[in-house]
Amino acid sequence: PIIITIMEFVRAATDMFWSTRIWLPPNITWEDIRPGVRPDVNHADYRHLIYPIPLAAVILMLRSVVERFWIAPIGKAIGIKSSGPKSPKPNKTLEAAYNVNSRLNHKTTVRLTKQLDMTERQIEYWWRRRRAQDKPTTLVKFCETSWRCIYYTYSFIFGCIVMWDKPWLWDIKQCWYGYPHQSVTNDIWWYYMISMAFYWSLTASQFYDVKRKDFWQMFAHHMITILLMALSWVCNLHRVGSLVLLVHDCADIFLESAKLTKYAQYQKVCDTIFAIFTVVWIVTRLILYPRVIYSSSVEAPQILPMFPAYYIFNTLLILLLVLHIGWTYLILQIVIKAIKSGQMEGDVRSSSSEEISDSSENSRTTALTNGGTPKKQPALATTATSKNGTTARVSASPKKK
């Protein structure tokens, strides 16, 4: 009896979750949009949402091969640093303390000065050098950025090819006419599955890629993106979903390209590409994307009856726009500060921690050797995040000749 009761509870909860009153327009049932029920319409099949997961594994394997045998050799050929900063002088006591907690606090510093014949300043310097050892090399960041740049370029070009002959690209109202009986063509199917697989791969690779300060924020971002795509697929809202995908891929090409030129130390090229990125970002995220939201919020209710899942989907789209506005503010801050300082400098990606430049480390080394106080390096830095979690970072520092 207990097992039967549990099964009945699970069945009731499942029926409640998949209630047509939540997921579908009035007077439409799951049977009405079941694939194959109408020979003239190829409805989206919710069971296909499992395909992006194994496809994500294929993408990760492809990425590993491309980075190792293509991107890394190119990076080395153009002079990208493949080695990190010099190791600090071996010290078993400091190493043991570092392994307990990589973040140095004053209490630990005082305790170590009593154990070792070292000043607080020398311990802090050793600690900085040791932390620098755990940070990724420029080549590693170059490889990761190159892979994302390749994907976004492919995705945008493929998206343009797929969408070019679709009527809803030129007239957004076509997203709503005939809903929910709208066919999923083969090219739209692949566009959706590959895009979702890529975000699954980003979610998985976060746990072994370069660790960023915004790790959990980006993890949540990727999961929300997957949720949005899955929701639009289940509700057969793939037309508006494909528009959102196309609009969001374009700007990221230029952001990743700017980072690549930064790693390669082509400063003027980086400045130019970042300027293009800023323009493309504003056009796509603050002009074209709001046009899609206007259609989903104003035009759609005039064409088809609303239902709860649609409101959830539209609310998530609006929240994404709010994020875009906040990120645009940060990007404009970068541009203004870069103009004042005369150049774009620093890693145009959120740093894994407070990164230590070679020049600042050299100055500290000299100061400590001479018994002086390290000079504080002038820096101007801020960050701005794009759709895929990448964050633009600019700091004023000496430019490579």
- Nearest in space to 393 (alpha carbons), one of 341, 331, 330, 348: 348
- Nearest in space to 261 (alpha carbons), one of 273, 252, 248: 273
By CB atoms closer than 10 A (0-12, 13-18, 19+), residue 225 is: buried
By CB atoms closer than 10 A (0-12, 13-18, 19+), residue 235 is: buried
Is the separation of the CB atoms in 247 and 292 below 8 Å?
A: yes
* Domain residue extents for the chain: 51-78+136-334
Check residue 393 and give left, alpha or beta (phi > 0: left; psi -120 to 50: alpha). beta
- DSSP bridge pairs for 384: 392
By CB atoms closer than 10 A (0-12, 13-18, 19+), residue 9 is: exposed
Residue 175's pLDDT is what?
A: 96
Q: What is the DSSP string of 300-324?
A: HHHHS---HHHHHHHHHHHHHHHHH
Residues 72 and 70: their CA atoms lie apart, in Å, by 6
Residues 399 and 168: their CA atoms lie apart, in Å, by 47
Residues 196 and 206: their CA atoms lie apart, in Å, by 16
Residues 235 and 43: their CA atoms lie apart, in Å, by 10
**Could you say which residues of the chain have pLDDT below 70?**
1-4, 84, 134, 212-214, 342-401
Q: How many CB atoms lie within 10 A of CB 332?
A: 14
Residue 352's pLDDT is what?
A: 43
The one-letter amino acid at 365: T
- DSSP-based three-state secondary structure for 383: strand
Residues 192 and 223: their CA atoms lie apart, in Å, by 15
Q: What is the DSSP string of 332-354?
A: HHHHHHHHHHTS--S-SS--SSS
Residue 213's pLDDT is what?
A: 67
* pTM assigned to the model: 0.78
Q: What is the largest CA-CA distance in the chain?
A: 83
Handedness of CA 79, 80, 85, 86 (dihedral sign): negative
